[in-house]
Structure 1
């Protein structure tokens, strides 16, 4: 049986919650309403609108990456499908309807404030997705229906020849967009936290956003399928910074007995488990494949859960 894929800790630089699926993907962060008075200046608010549109598209189109990895798990990529593969029944995952996300992201590329490099990457990413998605959908139906039994894999081979370059182009644009969005959102995070603190101090809202932002920084440096050997120094720095955010939340509770419901326990548990994970990686010389892959997946899933509770935690703390 093929080896289960490692996690892709794609902690995207956005503000919309990222759906978790196998293999696990890290969520982007809690949603911040762009018209909230805590988001500060009009420029910051409109930047958040753009970030939300781009991240929503990235979240929803992750399914294409998952579907492609599913396909790669059973087919010989150099030879293409033959019909004799042991796990051919795996097929591909069906894709989600992303028409609304594409429309909103496309509109955002033309809206102010302009971020030319990022906006252009999003436009190319949409084009690459639209080139790949129909091929994946055709292949998904083809293998689900076992049409290869009727045509001796003729369509499967033709689809493979077309899907490989389309998937490679899509993944290149995705990697570039991930990096650019991470930088973009890091800047928004700094501005957003400052705006919240200026308005209401280090409130429950500030605590939740600080925890999620710090945890996402850890996800950014988690090992991935493309980079299974962790940068232990970077991971240490991120975990230490996350630990400071958790202790800041502890201090908040000392003066506010109600604390931040739902998030406190999740945040503390995640910190302890991250430290255990770090010890395992030390013994494995940073290679997550040497006994720590399941722990990594579990950590990303826990992060996903914490992010999904963030908005509820803020409402309960008011």
Structure 2
């Protein structure tokens, strides 16, 4: 028997899209989580390195000429070396960089939280150190018998006490 002829193809209407049924949502950008984590860690590590070494160097210099670090300057020191300043641009760049990195999603906890605590404490300590640097560089301690130096020392100790635990975490 001969093969049956193929059924005649009838033009079919294209199915009508039901626009009302499912509105299209704009495509969400695909986030490369590893790239975000890498970016965050890069900022955190760079800022730690930019700030931690100067802080340690400054502590050593300041402690070097004080008879009793906890007590601070007495006004009876024979030699006053003062304290080195911390780069204000490094403080500002790191504060901005860390706050921007923390805002990136996804979150990287607990590291994001530690980074914010670190930069907040580093900026507070850095600002106090810079005020102390100016005070000692201008030799204002000679004019006020170390009065402001003693006050700054107490602020310095308070900021250092807040800084050390987050710097170690």
TM-score range normalised by the length of the shorter chain: 0.7 to 0.9
Number of equivalenced pairs: 135
Q: For residue 158 of structure 1, what is the aligned residue in structure 2?
A: 151
Q: For residue 215 of structure 1, what is the aligned residue in structure 2?
A: none
Q: Given the alignment, which residue of 104, 115, 119 partners 1:126?
A: 119
Q: For residue 8 of structure 2, what is the aligned residue in structure 1?
A: none
Q: For residue 243 of structure 1, what is the aligned residue in structure 2?
A: none
CA contact (8 A) 2:132 2:149 kept: yes
Quote the Cα distance in structure 1 between the aligned partners of 2:35 and 2:152.
43
Q: For residue 271 of structure 1, what is the aligned residue in structure 2?
A: none
Q: For residue 12 of structure 2, what is the aligned residue in structure 1?
A: none
Quote the Cα distance in structure 2 between the aligned partners of 1:69 and 1:113.
39
Q: Given the alignment, which residue of 69, 80, 101 partners 2:72?
A: 80
Quote the Cα distance in structure 2 between the aligned partners of 1:87 and 1:45.
51
CA contact (8 A) 1:70 1:93 kept: yes
Higher helix share goes to which structure?
A: 1
**Counterpart secondary structure, 2:110:** helix
TM-score normalised over the length of structure 2:
0.73
CA contact (8 A) 1:74 1:87 kept: yes
Quote the Cα distance in structure 2 between the aligned partners of 1:122 and 1:166.
16
**Counterpart secondary structure, 1:92:** coil
CA contact (8 A) 1:54 1:105 kept: yes
TM-score normalised over the length of structure 1:
0.40
Quote the Cα distance in structure 2 between the aligned partners of 1:162 and 1:153.
14
Give deviations 1:222-241, integer Å, cap 9, x for gaps.
Answer: xxxxxxxxxxxxxxxxxxxx
**Counterpart secondary structure, 1:73:** helix
Quote the Cα distance in structure 2 between the aligned partners of 1:158 and 1:166.
13
CA contact (8 A) 2:94 2:119 kept: no
1:102 is displaced (CA, Å) by 1.5
CA contact (8 A) 1:68 1:167 kept: no
1:92 is displaced (CA, Å) by 0.7
Q: Which runs of 5+ in 2 are unaligned?
A: 1-30
Q: Which runs of 5+ in 1 are unaligned?
A: 1-40, 177-318
Q: Given the alignment, which residue of 137, 144, 153 partners 1:144?
A: 137
1:161 is displaced (CA, Å) by 1.2
Matching of residue 49 in structure 1 with residue 39 in structure 2? yes
Quote the Cα distance in structure 1 between the aligned partners of 2:152 and 2:48.
24
1:85 is displaced (CA, Å) by 2.1
CA contact (8 A) 2:118 2:166 kept: yes
Cα RMSD of the aligned pairs, angstroms, is: 1.7
Q: Summarize the alignment of residues 233-252 of structure 1 with structure 2, pairs less than 5 Å apart.
A: none
